Amino acid sequence: MAKSNYKLAKSSFPSAQDVHQVTLSNGITVLARSNFNSPSVSMGGYLPAGAIFESDEKLGLADFVSTSLMRGTQTRTFDQIYNELESVGASMGFDSGVHNTNFGGRALVEDLPLLLQLLSESLQTPTFPNDEVERLRAQLLTGLALRAQDTSDMSNLIFEKILYENHPYSRPNDGYVETIQSITRDDMEEFHRLFFGPRGMVIAIVGAIQPKQAVEAVEKFFGAWQVAGQKEADTLPSLKPIKKTVKRHHTIEEKSQSDLVIGTLAPTRKSDDYMAASLGNSVLGQFGMMGRIGNVVREKSGLAYYAYSSLNSGIGPGSWEVNAGVNPKNLNKAIDLVEKELKKFVKQGVTKNELADSQANYIGRLPLSLESNQGVVSAILNIHRYDLGMDYYQGYENLVRSVKRDDVVEVARKYIDPDKLVIATAGP
């Protein structure tokens, strides 16, 4: 594929000029941007109340709490909250990760006050009604029973346990059966009281509203929120990389598929290495039919139902991994092929055409990802979360094009050592 001559219309991308940023007196950061091409608004954000605050005995608590927030508040029942949203065609939801509890929603612009009111009540005054908590516990336990029989989920669980040994990232956010069973309503209320508060909360609003009006709306519903003694997370502990290849298999009998994860540590999202690693990963196992990995393991050898690589980068150390689902009798052959492909990638890097194709793909898909209000909300939240600078997308094309083949091979050698891999498998 020839190098694209397509020039991005940078004026449509978020920038420091058109994203209005204000921090309220209680510590909430508001990011707002207008888009009057549709009558709707999208809202999203996060606050630092994630799984990092859990004890080993109560793993899954942050997830349990975030899923319970809309199950009843001091002023509305579960049914009332959902009926109000449905009556105006709006939506809202919560989930949680290692560092944050996340939220998002959308509505017509005239219903933004309702959306913010329900968000405010869910975050500030949830009641964790007993019957709802027990119903939710049953759902979470069903999810864990399904996880235990899922070869993909279990290989990922084992992989993270080994890669992130003695680090918060080694623990599953959804916990274990015994930890979910041990969580009480008091635990949930205490977690909410200690870790939910305005400090560190970020909310982005994009749509048919003037940015200053969006800030005023947030101020109205959240400006008075104060939490004395809101706890902050400790700094992430350092992580010791593995010294040699570690292999572990998790047996799940009577399965027709085995899943494998082979990988290592990756740069953080803020790292200067990130873009070269990301483009390299695109060639390795994403672009077209799942890149080189997909081509070699799936297309040419016919060994896998799926095979791809992914680069997972965030605040702390990320993972660079290859995932594949294979017939159990082909498991060792597939592992050998992946290891060979990683050795080749580290030794030779990428070709000129492979890099140019991936660069054109990155540049071409950016405008598509920013077409919707929700896409812009996600983009400006990521910029803020990883401190990339609000003009990040203005310089994005140059950033992508500036990556050279030498950069990719250098970053591959820095992070991928074929003699120091984590190989986690699950199946019969």
Query: Any bridge partners for residue 72, and if so which?
Result: 77
Burial pattern 9-46, b for ≥16 Cβ within 10 A else e, equals: eeeebbbeeebbbbebebbbbbbbbbbeeeebbbbbbb
From start to end of 313-414, where are the E strands? 318-326
Of the chain, the percentage scoring pLDDT greater than 70 comes to: 96
What's the one-letter identity of residue 317?
P
Phi, psi of 68 (to 5 degrees): -90, -10
321 secondary structure, DSSP code:
E
The two structure tokens encoding residue 192:
């909410």
5 secondary structure, DSSP code:
-
Looking at residue 292, what is its pLDDT? 77
Assign domain 246-427 to a CATH class: alpha beta
Please say whether the beta carbons of 118 and 132 come within 8 A: no
Q: Please name which of 193, 230, 45, 222 lies closest in space to residue 118, comparing C-alpha atoms.
A: 222
Q: Do domains 15-222 and 246-427 have the same CATH topology?
A: yes
| pLDDT at residue 5 tops 50 | no
- Would you place residue 125 in the very low, low, confident or very high pLDDT band (cuts 50, 70, 90)? very high
Angle at 261 between CA 257 and CA 263, to 5 degrees: 165
- Would you place residue 81 in the very low, low, confident or very high pLDDT band (cuts 50, 70, 90)? very high
Looking at residue 232, what is its pLDDT? 87
d(CA 242, CA 354): 30
Q: Say if strands 20-23 and 29-34 run parallel, antiparallel, or are unpaired.
A: antiparallel
Q: Please name which of 79, 50, 84, 85 lies closest in space to residue 64, comparing C-alpha atoms.
A: 50
Of the chain, the percentage scoring pLDDT greater than 90 comes to: 84
Angle at 130 between CA 124 and CA 133, to 5 degrees: 75
Distances (CA, A) of 345 to 167, 247, 320, 381, 414: 29, 21, 13, 33, 12
Q: Which of 58-72, 87-101, 227-241 has the lowest mean pLDDT?
A: 227-241
Query: Any bridge partners for residue 279, and if so which?
Result: none
The two structure tokens encoding residue 156:
């990922």
170 secondary structure, DSSP code:
G
3 secondary structure, DSSP code:
P
| pLDDT at residue 95 tops 90 | yes
Whole-structure pTM value? 0.90
The two structure tokens encoding residue 146:
């399904």
d(CA 353, CA 282): 13
| pLDDT at residue 99 tops 90 | yes
| pLDDT at residue 85 tops 50 | yes
Reported as a single tens digit per residue, the pLDDT across 352-411 is: 999 999 999 999 999 999 999 999 999 999 999 999 999 999 999 999 999 999 999 999
- Would you place residue 286 in the very low, low, confident or very high pLDDT band (cuts 50, 70, 90)? confident
| pLDDT at residue 227 tops 70 | yes
Q: Please name which of 316, 304, 234, 218 lies closest in space to residue 271, comparing C-alpha atoms.
A: 316
Looking at residue 235, what is its pLDDT? 85
| pLDDT at residue 51 tops 60 | yes
What's the one-letter identity of residue 231?
K
d(CA 111, CA 85): 9
| pLDDT at residue 310 tops 80 | yes
Please say whether the beta carbons of 363 and 327 come within 8 A: no
d(CA 356, CA 2): 8
Assign domain 15-222 to a CATH class: alpha beta
d(CA 343, CA 417): 8
Reported as a single tens digit per residue, the pLDDT across 146-187 is: 999 999 999 999 999 999 999 999 999 999 999 999 999 999
d(CA 66, CA 60): 10
What is the H or E stretch that residue 203 is in? strand 202-207
What is the H or E stretch that residue 205 is in? strand 202-207
d(CA 117, CA 123): 10
Residue predicted with more confidence, 75 or 292: 75
SS3 406: helix
The two structure tokens encoding residue 359:
């660069």
Q: Say if strands 318-326 and 258-266 run parallel, antiparallel, or are unpaired.
A: antiparallel
Reported as a single tens digit per residue, the pLDDT across 327-339 is: 998 899 999 999 9
Average pLDDT, stretch 53-64?
95
**Whole-number average pLDDT of the chain:** 92
Q: Which of 120-134, 194-208, 330-344 has the lowest mean pLDDT?
A: 330-344
Residue 385, Cα to own-chain centre: how many angstroms? Answer: 12
Q: Please name which of 21, 8, 10 lies closest in space to residue 390, comparing C-alpha atoms.
A: 21
Per-domain residue ranges of the chain: 15-222, 246-427
